[in-house]
Amino acid sequence: MTESFPVLLLVMATAAYVVRVVGFTLMQLVPVSPRIEAALRATPLAVMAGIAALALQTGGLAEALALGSVVGLTLILRSDVAAALMGVAVVALLRWLGA
Amino acid sequence: MTRALFSFDGFRRGVRDGLPLGVSIFAYGLGFGLVAAQAGFSVAKAVATSAAIYSGSAQLAAVNLLQTGEATLWALFATILVINARYILFGAALQPWLWPAGPVRAYGSLLFLGDANWMQTMRAIRAGEEDRAYLPGTGVPMLLGWLVGTALGAGAVRVLPAPQALGLDLMLAAFAVGMVTAMVKTRADLVPVVVGAGAALGISALAGPGLAIIGAGLAGGLVAALMYRGRP
């Protein structure tokens, strides 16, 4: 590669911005029917579940126990943020213990 | 057209809710900074890359590609498109809510779009958030955390403990699990959860993790559209 760094940077920034706006822009052509709305409403849950599933797949027992504790803590504390932070503490502790 | 609410109050709410996300992104930034430094990037170059792309997975792929020394500009462009394909879906899901803010505010806010604050914002929308400035608000602590983390990582702060030892690599997944738990209210809400998890695992096995997340979102949305039976 012979291009200078600013050129590389520009190409990378353009690609990164294009993916951020292309779905948004195309949706302006789609009339939002209740069916589309139902689909859009379901996507965050599906994406989050996908992120969690991949983390469980690549992780071991410590990661599974930590993510399991986040479910319980969210229900008990009624705060998903507090539960997530405590889940991170749980995995740090378990890794320190060698799990 | 009446513009949707876009106020400093909403922005501030977003900043507040984005602070814990910023902490986690800081840790990812440290990791990227370290990798970039090992690939021969100066602190300035590493930070410029983080500002330009603002996405950990895409940046790692780009640095790997640049290291080979044989990448073309098109390959670089295409790599980022594929690795970040999930953002196409993120933007589409935000559109009905964000567009009424007007084009300048909407396209400006999309500069701040990341994985964690997309999840956070979609959750807030579901809970009734009306102020569109919430989205860029959540993005500010994240972007700051990302840039400061990159600078420290590239500046070779090897005295810090590894992010893994603090469990910070699990932060995004932990937020995802917490938000899913909080957002699932009815048995029907479990359908996209099961579909998304299954699709992510299947696609990751077949095509690698780059397309697993957008695949999970598309599968969840498709199933929800097929199962739609009018207003409940």
pLDDT tens-digit series, residues A13-72 = 999 999 999 999 999 998 888 999 899 889 999 999 999 999 999 999 999 999 999 999
Q: Which of B208, B227, B194, B172 is nearest to A49 (CA)?
A: B194
Please tell me the least confidently modeled range out of A64-68, B103-107, B212-216: B212-216
Residue B177 covered by a domain: no
| Res B53 pLDDT > 60 | yes
User: Are residue B23 and residue B120 in the same domain, yes or no?
Assistant: yes
User: Are residue B195 and residue B230 in the same domain, yes or no?
Assistant: yes
Q: Which of B76, B111, B179 sits opposite A8 (nearest CB)?
A: B76
ipTM of the complex in this document = 0.88
In angstroms, the CA B146 to CA B150 distance is 6
Q: Which residue has the tokens 């959860």?
A: B193
In angstroms, the CA B52 to CA A44 distance is 25
pLDDT tens-digit series, residues B13-31 = 999 999 988 988 887 888 8
CB A16 within 8 A of CB B58: yes
Give B-chain residues touching A81 at CB under 8 angstroms: 17, 20, 175, 178
| Res B116 pLDDT > 80 | yes
In angstroms, the CA B78 to CA B73 distance is 9
Q: Which of B78, B173, B224 sits opposite A41 (nearest CB)?
A: B224
For A27, name the nearest residue in chain B, comparing CA atoms only.
B92
User: Are residue B205 and residue B228 in the same domain, yes or no?
Assistant: yes
Across the A/B interface, how many CB contacts are shorter than 8 Å? 292
DSSP A67: H
User: Are residue B72 and residue B127 in the same domain, yes or no?
Assistant: yes
Residue B228 covered by a domain: yes
Residue B60 covered by a domain: yes
User: Are residue B231 and residue B162 in the same domain, yes or no?
Assistant: no
Query: Domain of B214?
Result: 184-232
User: Are residue B144 and residue B221 in the same domain, yes or no?
Assistant: no
Residue B73 covered by a domain: yes
Q: ∠ CA(A86), CA(A89), CA(A93), 5° rounding?
A: 140
Residue B178 covered by a domain: no
| Res A1 pLDDT > 60 | no
pLDDT tens-digit series, residues A75-87 = 999 988 889 989 9
Q: Which of B132, B214, B189 is nearest to A54 (CA)?
A: B214
User: Are residue B53 and residue B94 in the same domain, yes or no?
Assistant: yes
Contact between chains at A42 and B220 (C-beta distance less than 8 A): yes
| Res B86 pLDDT > 70 | yes
Contact between chains at A47 and B216 (C-beta distance less than 8 A): yes
Task: Give me the residue spans of the domains in chain A.
Answer: 1-30, 34-97
Contact between chains at B222 and A39 (C-beta distance less than 8 A): yes
Q: What is the pLDDT of residue B1?
A: 56
Q: What is the pLDDT of residue B159?
A: 61
Total structural domains within chain B: 2
User: Are residue B19 and residue B65 in the same domain, yes or no?
Assistant: yes
User: Are residue B20 and residue B109 in the same domain, yes or no?
Assistant: yes
User: Are residue B127 and residue B213 in the same domain, yes or no?
Assistant: no
| Res A2 pLDDT > 70 | no
User: Are residue B159 and residue B195 in the same domain, yes or no?
Assistant: no
In angstroms, the CA B133 to CA B100 distance is 12
Q: Which of A70, A92, A95 sits opposite B178 (nearest CB)?
A: A70
User: Are residue B42 and residue B142 in the same domain, yes or no?
Assistant: yes
In angstroms, the CA B141 to CA B137 distance is 8
Residue B2 covered by a domain: no
Contact between chains at A21 and B107 (C-beta distance less than 8 A): yes
Give A-chain residues touching B39 at CB under 8 angstroms: none
Residue B214 covered by a domain: yes
Q: Which of A22, A57, A71 sits opposite B177 (nearest CB)?
A: A71
